[in-house]
Structure 1
């Protein structure tokens, strides 16, 4: 007997039955009638009598029958981590981000051109250099170059707010000095003293004469600066131009920003890397002391 005929017979039996007896007459082990066996099939089907027509709806799919479409659970986006070191220039930053994400470095360079979209502060003058704050960032594969760079600018602004940078008379100068301090200091412990040397020389209208700015003008990350290099015609050559360079030369970290804002107390006018292997920097207040430090540095080479 097929399911439809079985259901018709069950409905007919139910129509001929007497009214149900009072509840007290039911016993726990009363034998089930045939109708009960059929009703047990309701786990599988539901019969609806509508105007003499029986409609059968399957509640659970029968073996081999058509399956209801199943929506797969959403695949979580893969997260990536990127660690940006203190003192990286934007050119190096773009190259490293390209390796981390697979996006061309040019995509990051193009995104950096829209300072407003990145959220740069007004005193940045639309230039990302100096404002891509170092640190470790987490982002999804779907993150765009603009979104990644904007996160670094947001981190800079948070740090700047904590340090009260915007309230300073010349906040861009502070970022420029911090970038010089970051480039010239072997360790964080040296930063406040290096910052003091820069402030003292600026106050005395002395040329800064920093190799790091010359390298920036040459497009070099490292290497010795020669006498010929110091003749470079570039606004970043602090051997030729008085005062600060026109913009930051790297992306400084929080320690360098703090040192630029709060340099150590002292009268130093010079600093020399006297032991390159150990990263030892010594400071001098006079030309004579400076000459001795230079000689010491030559002997350590």
Structure 2
């Protein structure tokens, strides 16, 4: 008889049993057990008691696992574990242009760069904020992404836009009077600052020059308009008629020139207080600031001396 049948019969017996006798009955010597009532089945010993407890103790080495009778057989109860989808990790650093970002994503995922380029054109599908004016430059938020291999280019770019939107809300950029200007300035700050600590001062220089009606004269915008890279624009570059030539045109360029990170966005929104109108990279990692033309010329001479020393 299997243990389920033993349990069934034992429980049936127990349903009509009288209250159990006092323990003294078993402890006092010389007393006879009362006669069994007619029709009762003989009591079952160890097996029946184990069945009535409704548990089976399985000894596995030195480990005990307790399983009720209603539990499934452990040999057949393993839950199927679905493997996690495969992912690729991609890091998009601050100051990367959108064109470079799309190429990096294509290389990492093995998807055509043209598919990313096409996806980037649909600002509505990507969830771009209205002040992006449909362009994704400046809104592909930098950072490290674990991308499922099943994600489409549109999925990937939409996730970057979503992270930008969250950051813009957290920093107060989205609530500023002109969030587009903040993003453009942040992209300039990102491109021109060798260190994060320089960003609030660079933002102040840009704001001060805009407030005075001065041209920004930034080589980074000139080179962006020409689709080139470099440390400094040439004399020929400065003659360009590109709308990004901030030597010839006053005010901000028509759009961001790179994708800024949180530090640059915060700096653009809250520049450091100061009178500076110029900044000069006197060495590859050192930026100095000037409040007058005379101070500016001195910094230029320092840069030239450093260049000759190298």
Query: Which TM-score band applies after superposition, normalised by the shorter structure?
Result: 0.7 to 0.9
Answering whether residue 297 of structure 2 is matched by residue 297 of structure 1, we say no
Cα 1:210–1:24, aligned 2, differ >3 Å: closer, same or farther? same
For the residues of structure 2 that align with 1:234 and 1:105, how far apart are their CA atoms? Answer: 26
Deviation at 1:228, TM superposition (A): 1.0
The residue aligned with 1:55 is none
2:93 matched to 1:98? no
Residue by residue, what CA displacement relative to the aligned partner does 1:151-206 show, whole Å, maximum 9, x if unpaired? 11000110111112222111100000000000000000000000000000000000
The DSSP-based 3-state class of the residue aligned with 1:246 is coil
Unaligned runs of 5+ in 2: 1-38, 47-79
**Residue in 2 that maps onto 1:38:** none
Specify the alignment match of 2:287 in structure 1.
281
Matches of 2:124 and 2:82 in 1, distance apart?
34
SS of 1:82's partner is strand
What corresponds to 2:196 in structure 1? 188
Distance 1:294 1:24, change over 3 A: same
Q: Does the CA-based 8 Å contact 2:169-2:175 persist in structure 1?
A: no
SS in 1 for 2:107: helix
- 2:137 maps to which of 122, 129, 134: 129
Q: TM-score, normalised by structure 1?
A: 0.75
Distance 1:171 1:113 in 2: 21
Instruction: Name the Cα RMSD after superposition.
Output: 2.0
- For residue 24 of structure 1, report the CA deviation from its aligned partner: 3.7
Looking at structure 2, the residues matched to 270 and 26 of structure 1 have their Cα atoms a distance apart, in angstroms, of 99
Q: In 2, Cα distance between the equivalents of 1:24 and 1:252? A: 86
What 5-or-longer segments of structure 1 have no aligned partner?
Answer: 1-20, 29-71
Task: Count residues with an aligned counterpart.
Answer: 238
Q: 1:27 offset after TM fit, Å? A: 10
Alignment equivalent of 1:109, drawn from 117, 120, 135: 117
SS of the equivalent of 1:139 reads strand
Match of 2:185 among 164, 177, 196: 177
SS at match of 1:181: helix
